[in-house]
Structure 1
Amino acid sequence: MKIIENALTDRGSKYAVSGGPVGSVDEAKAFVKSLCRKKKFARATHNSWAVILPDGPVKNDDGESGAGMVILRMLEREDITGHIIVVTRWFGGTKLGGDRFRRVQDAVRVYLDAADCQSL
């Protein structure tokens, strides 16, 4: 599990991004559950995630409507399968509107750049 805790901030909201290899929906859910064992992540406003598995794509917005699809599209563009990416947001008090999708993209890009997506 790779975790980048201070990936970015925007108007008070803070973002982290995490990821790792998974081979099934159950493993993906276990990954998120493991991440949320850390008190900081359990208290987050959203832990949105996506993964492309042999059975097809799986995503979860965790209340951040549309965030899972943004992550999924980036995984598809990079042709990354069997690797979950979780974008965590702690709400900072100011609604970001459509910018929240750009921040999810930015967080995924931070993860992919740090992980060297060729090795995923």
Structure 2
Amino acid sequence: MRILENVISDRGSKYAVSGGPCTCEDEAKAFIKELCRKKKFAKATHHSWALLTADAPLKNDDGEAGAGMVIVRMLEREGLRDHIIVVTRWYGGKHLGGDRFRHVQDAVRLYLDDLGRS
């Protein structure tokens, strides 16, 4: 499990991005459960995630409508399969509007850069 913490901060909201090998929805749920064993992550507002499997893309917005699809599109562009990417957000009290999609994209890009994929 690779975790990049405090990658983005905007109007009180803070973001982290994490990921690792994953091939199915059950493994994705186990990944989120493991991530939430860290007290800080257990208190997060959203854990939006996606992964590309051999069968189909899987995603979960976790209340951050549209965030999972943003991650799916970036995984498809990279051709990164069987690898989950989770963007975690701690809500800061102010709505970010469309900026939240940019933050999800930026967080995924930072993760992919850290993997050496860009």
Please indicate the TM-score interval, normalised by the length of the shorter structure: over 0.9
Gaps of 5+ in 1: none
Deviation at 1:39, TM superposition (A): 1.1
SS of alignment partner, residue 65 of structure 1? coil
Q: CA RMSD in A?
A: 0.9
1:88 aligns with 88
Percent identical: 70
2:102 aligns with 102
Q: d(CA) in 1 for partners of 2:97 and 2:69? A: 16
Deviation at 1:115, TM superposition (A): 1.1
Q: d(CA) in 2 for partners of 1:23 and 1:95? A: 33
2:77 aligns with 77
Deviation at 1:10, TM superposition (A): 1.0
Superposed, which structure 2 residues align to 1:49-88 within 5 Å?
49-88=49-88
Q: d(CA) in 1 for partners of 2:117 and 2:25? A: 21
TM-score, normalised to structure 1, is 0.95
Count how many residue pairs are aligned between Structure 1 and Structure 2: 118
TM-score, normalised to structure 2, is 0.97
